[in-house]
Amino acid sequence: MVFPAAEPLFMTEGKMLRESRNGTADLVKGFAVLFMIQVHVMEQFATVDVRQATIGQVSMFLGGPFCAPAFMAVMGYFLYAPAKPAFYYLKRGAWLFAGGILLNIARSANLLVHILQGKTELNGWSFIFGADILTLAGLSLILIAGLRTLFRDRFFLWISLALLVAAIAPPLSTGIAVVSPYNYILAFLWGDNEWSYFPVFPWFSYVLLGYAFRLWLVENSQERKPEIRKMLVFSIPITIILLVTLPWAVRITSNLHGIHGYYHHGILFFLWVSWFLVLYVIALQYINDESGEKTAIRIVKWMGRNVTTIYVIQWLIIGNLATMLFGTLNLLQATLWFSGVTILSVLFTWVYGKTIHR
């Protein structure tokens, strides 16, 4: 994922903290990319038996609320920048969308060669035009550019649109899982096509959620850093609701496609994840405050700071290996591959960072 320059999640002592990075946001992104690598390995490499077992469902859940929703909400939070012109969002959005298409081609290069050679009858266009995180991020930036002019700083409009986008996603997805040139474009917006992983409906709702939350903080002059203990007490009822409904949420994340599946979920799952993200951010902020300088936490934050590069590299590795390894590994083998892909992604990211900053 690509985010604008990091800013603090909260304000303190009457003015914004002038930090070069925000530790909590970096932790959110760092853990997200770790969970994302493991779920990609599970989806692409593990056998059906492993994916359908309890450990597979846990893996899918860790690759659910902790990943894409967290990415997009943090992105939306940092998109609130009144001084930025609309052209900034449009230009950056177009580049992100184009980058997403290029990544689709690069990570599927091995498979596309097999298709061209006639070794498989899979539809190559569905891999090239897959609606994934980067294309969603690009379209989200473009939409934000227009909405800033219409909604300005009206919190009610932003949060209402977030709810609306999530609510109408399942109906929009009904009955249009058809292969046609039109639906390759439509899949970026909505639909139940197998290559429509993160369409605008419902996933743009998380960007709107993050944007609305930032706007709410500004409007209500939340100038003091929230006290963790008070926030934890306030969150007890929400925590109980989340725990009671956890099995339902796990079933959603285990069912990727289909109406009301993870990729095309509706407003109930959106609300569940929104509540979950509040508690999750509180927990990570506490970890950052108490243990932010410990080696393990610093590594995760470093991954968060380099999330875009790691995201691209892990997909280049996993996507091209999937042509040979798809659905063939047992649990131990998948675990070892997860470790290997993570280490390689971090190593290549470190080398890339050293190279471009020389």
Statement: residue 219 has pLDDT above 90? no
Output the pLDDT for position 10.
34
Statement: residue 15 has pLDDT above 70? no
Statement: residue 4 has pLDDT above 50? no
Alpha carbon distances (Å) from 210 to 79, 247, 300: 9, 26, 22
Please check whether residue 207 is in contact with residue 72, taking contact to mean a CB–CB distance below 8 angstroms: yes
Determine, yes or no, domain membership for 227. Answer: yes
Q: By percentage, how much of the chain surpasses pLDDT 90? A: 69
Statement: residue 231 has pLDDT above 80? no
Statement: residue 112 has pLDDT above 50? yes
Statement: residue 41 has pLDDT above 80? yes
Determine, yes or no, domain membership for 188. Answer: yes
Q: pLDDT tens digits for 116-125?
A: 998 988 989 9
Output the pLDDT for position 357.
59
Statement: residue 245 has pLDDT above 50? yes
Q: How many structural domains compose the chain?
A: 1
Q: Three-state SS string across 16-46, please?
A: CCCCCCCHHHHHHHHHHHHHHHHHHHHHHHE
Determine, yes or no, domain membership for 29. Answer: yes
- C-beta atoms surrounding 260 within 10 Å: 14
Statement: residue 226 has pLDDT above 90? no
Output the pLDDT for position 174.
67
Q: How confident is the model at residue 11 (pLDDT cuts 50, 70, 90)?
A: very low
Statement: residue 5 has pLDDT above 50? no
Average pLDDT over residues 89-93: 95
72-86, 144-158, 166-180: lowest mean pLDDT where?
166-180
Statement: residue 9 has pLDDT above 50? no
Q: What is this structure's pTM? A: 0.89
Average pLDDT over residues 250-271: 89
Domain that holds residue 333: 23-356
Determine, yes or no, domain membership for 112. Answer: yes
Determine, yes or no, domain membership for 7. Answer: no
Output the pLDDT for position 239.
83
Output the pLDDT for position 335.
96
In terms of Cα–Cα distance, which of 318, 311, 307 is closest to 341?
Answer: 318
Q: By percentage, how much of the chain surpasses pLDDT 70? A: 88
- C-beta atoms surrounding 269 within 10 Å: 25
Rounded to whole angstroms, how far apart are CA atoms 196 and 69?
A: 16
Q: How confident is the model at residue 287 (pLDDT cuts 50, 70, 90)?
A: very high
Q: Determine the residue type at 123.
A: N
Determine, yes or no, domain membership for 183. Answer: yes
